[in-house]
Amino acid sequence: MSSVSELYQSVILDHNKAPRNYGRLEGEAARHAKGHNPLCGDEVTVWLELEGDVVKDVRFEGQGCAISRASASLMTVAVKGKTIAEVERLFADFHGLVTGEKSEATEALPARLQVFANVAQFPVRVKCASLAWHTMKKALDDTTAAASTVNGER
């Protein structure tokens, strides 16, 4: 198997073609943040709706490569219904996975996130895989984030 087909696993190709939770969240409770990779021009906006400390709903919109699109899509699937603490742990472990810092925690990530392990072999693509996660974290951290505010991330 070539390294490119290891990078572009079928799960990634599938989520690139048909991203889940694509779109916006309207309404008072929704918060969002914008992420941007100035090097390649990729853009993503992540919407979150919390109920207590649980992610009740999450959506994303944006344009970017297959890695960034699939990563955003799979992230929404992974964090929906999780507590903030669980989401933050997932992010930390996912970051370890795509930067090649293997640990018990990265091994324990759900299989649908494990498909990004090979990104570590493509250093220029690490940002693609982590952009949506950084943006989601930004939306989580900004307690004042209302639907009308835009938070840029560089």
Partner 1 sequence: MKNSVGETTLAKGADAETSVQPPHVLTRSRLDVRDQFPIFAIHPNLVYLDSAATSQKPQRVIDRLARFYAGENANIHRGVYALSAEATATYDSARAAVARFIGAALPDEVIFTRGTTESINLVAQSWGRSVVKPGDEIVVTEMEHHSNWVPWQMLADSTGAVLRMAPVTEAGELDMSAMARLVTPRTRLVAVTHLSNVLGTINPVRRITDLAHAAGALVLVDGAQSVAHGAVDVRDLGCDFFAFSGHKLFGPTGIGVLYGREALLEEMPPWQGGGGMIGTVALDGITWAEVPMKFEAGTPAVADAVALAEAIAFVESVGAEAIVTHEAELLSLATERLSAIPGVRLIGTAAHRASVISFTLEGVHPHDLGTVLDEAGIAIRAGHHCAQPLMRRFGLAATARASFSVYNTPDDVEALGRGIERARALFS
Q: Which residues bind partner 1 (CB under 8 A)?
A: 2-5, 7-8, 13, 16-17, 39-43, 63-67, 69, 122, 125, 128
Distance CA 110, CA 107 (A): 8
Closer residue to partner 1 (CB): 8 or 29? 8
- Name which of 122 and 147 has its Cβ closer to partner 1: 122
Phi and psi at residue 82, to the nearest 5°? -90, 155
The least distance separating partner 1 from the CB of residue 100, rounded to whole angstroms, comes to 17
Q: Can you say how many angstroms the Cα of residue 4 is from the centroid of all Cα atoms in its chain?
A: 21
Least separation in angstroms between residue 120's CB and partner 1 is 14
Closest to partner 1 by CB, 79 or 131: 131
Instruction: Please give the C-alpha separations between residue 71 and each of 28, 35, 116, 135, 144, in angstroms, as whole numbers.
Output: 27, 13, 8, 12, 26
Adjacent-strand bridge partners of 105: none
* Shortest Cβ 10–partner 1 spacing (Å): 11
**Could you tell me the smallest distance in angstroms from the CB atom of residue 3 to partner 1?**
6
Token pair of 150, please? 């835009």
